[in-house]
Amino acid sequence: MKFSHPPSALCPLPSVLALANSAEELGDVLALENELALDNDGWALLAPFGEHRKTRTIQRDGRVVQETFVQVFDEAAVDAVLANENGGVFTRLKRAFIKRPIYNGHPDIKLYAPETVTLANERLIPLGLNQACRKTARGLEFQPLLVPDGKKAVEEDGCKYPSGLFLLNKTGGVRADGAIEVRPFKLASIGLTPHPNISGVDSLANARANQPAASDKTKTTDDTMKQLLIGWLAAQGIALANDSTDQSVFDAFNKEWLARTTTSTALANDKTNLTQTVNTLTADRDKEKTRADQAATALANEQTAFKAERQARVEACVDLTITQGKLDVAGRAAKVTELLALANDKLPEALTVLEKLPAKFKIASALGSDRKSAATASGSAQQKILTLANDDEKYKALPMDKAMAAIERDYPALFEELRQPATTAK
């Protein structure tokens, strides 16, 4: 026989840690095996009242670590376990299905906590089931019903002692030595082991040695339960004959249960992967949105600067035309508005036409108050550009657009000043 638990140190079985995902919010849930005593009247003591220490070995972040727990088995805990065994709608049917399986050891422990470290992989083949649970002065007891293979494990293989796999909630308490305090609320399954935690207890073999093989009442209960299981399997599309052996019914039931558990695990993994994908896509989307917003802001700033520079250039050309006597000061604003309304590719042609106008107005030394007010946005930079265009021999002989280009090349700071947004003088 192979066991998933080491036989040394009275077989300190690893515990399991899981998360509750049912409609009832249970929070963090623990599962711990408890190898305990069986008295001579056939009732096994799974959880004596009191506090019991347990350790579990798990793999976390690539390392094998041990955790220590203090299990608090009080009357409230036992009442909670019994309530989970017997409560619910359609009580008769549910009681049939919630009868806990009995295994050789605890091959189902990884179903509740995949991180648990075990020494062997055992098959989920039940050796029997639990007929009932009760609360006594000793604590929580159960009444086993074994199939022939279970009887063989007890009598020939030395697996004489029962071991309960309990689901537990953390109480929130932590002992001075770091042990985590937990309290059971549900019995998951029962295992048979040759190494109990408590010495001097009665074994299943001794408890059953002087009892009759099976009473009519036990057989009737067994047959009823088996027929209910056969009916449930039929509803799942698994057909079994009414006279199928106990072992074949157990095998079919556990195969279906394992398949459902595997499917649930796969769905949980898919959900985790999808969540990670959604988080990645959301982060990428936010990153691209930030980049797009920054690009839009930069483009808006460039457009604002371009508009300011274009307007300054147009105003400089119009003012130059006015100083040459080709345009009346009174028509300055209208001419600026007209030129700004043109498309970029039409503006050079319009400036050429403006430059070729004949001089017909008296040339003034200044443009007057209208021109000064209109030129406020460009300030001294525009005045300097006009002076260069009118008075400097290097530029005044050139066509207007070429003169402006030459001045910008020689005096880039003046045009940089023109690009600044206009401000209103106070």
Domain ranges (residues) in the chain: 16-211, 301-418
Report how far Cα 209 is from the mean position of its chain's Cα atoms. Answer: 54
Give one DSSP letter per residue of 208-253, joined into a string. Answer: HTTS-S--HHHHHHHHHHHHHHHHHHHHTT----TT--HHHHHHHH
CB atoms within 10 A of CB 75: 11
Helices (H), 134-215: 148-155, 204-208
**Of the candidates 77, 126, 120, the residue with the CA atom closest to the CA atom of residue 99:** 126
* Nearest-angstrom CA–CA distance, 189 and 13: 14
* Nearest-angstrom CA–CA distance, 7 and 196: 10
Q: What pLDDT shows up at residue 122?
A: 67
Per-residue pLDDT band at 36 (split at 50, 70, 90): very low
* 380-393 tens-digit pLDDT: 777 888 888 888 88
CB atoms within 10 A of CB 60: 10
Say if CB 32 and CB 69 are below 8 A apart. Answer: yes
How far apart, in Å, do the first and last CA atoms of the chain sit? 99
Compute the C-alpha angle 211/217/221, nearest 5°: 115
Residue located via tokens 């929070």: 27
Say if CB 96 and CB 228 are below 8 A apart. Answer: yes
Say if CB 179 and CB 69 are below 8 A apart. Answer: yes
Tell me what the pLDDT averaged over the chain comes to: 74
Q: What is the largest CA-CA distance in the chain?
A: 138
**Of the candidates 403, 319, 407, the residue with the CA atom closest to the CA atom of residue 363:** 319
State how beta strands 101-104 and 128-135 pair: antiparallel
Containing 32, the helix (H) or strand (E) segment is: strand 28-35
* Nearest-angstrom CA–CA distance, 248 and 254: 10
CB atoms within 10 A of CB 240: 18
Q: What pLDDT shows up at residue 370?
A: 45
224: tokens are 């009823």
Q: Which residues share a beta bridge with 52?
A: 71
* 74-120 tens-digit pLDDT: 999 999 999 888 654 334 444 444 678 888 888 888 787 777 776 65
- 55: which DSSP letter? E
* 197-225 tens-digit pLDDT: 533 333 455 443 334 444 455 455 557 77
* 293-336 tens-digit pLDDT: 999 999 988 888 888 888 888 888 888 888 888 888 888 889 88
User: Where are any strands of DSSP class E within 98-235?
Assistant: 101-104, 128-135, 139-146, 161-174, 180-193
In the chain, % of residues over pLDDT 70: 73
CB atoms within 10 A of CB 131: 16
Q: Is the dihedral of CA 13, 19, 21, 23 positive or negative?
A: positive
Q: Which residues share a beta bridge with 165?
A: 33, 189
Q: What pLDDT shows up at residue 78?
A: 92
Residue 422 pLDDT > 60, yes or no? no
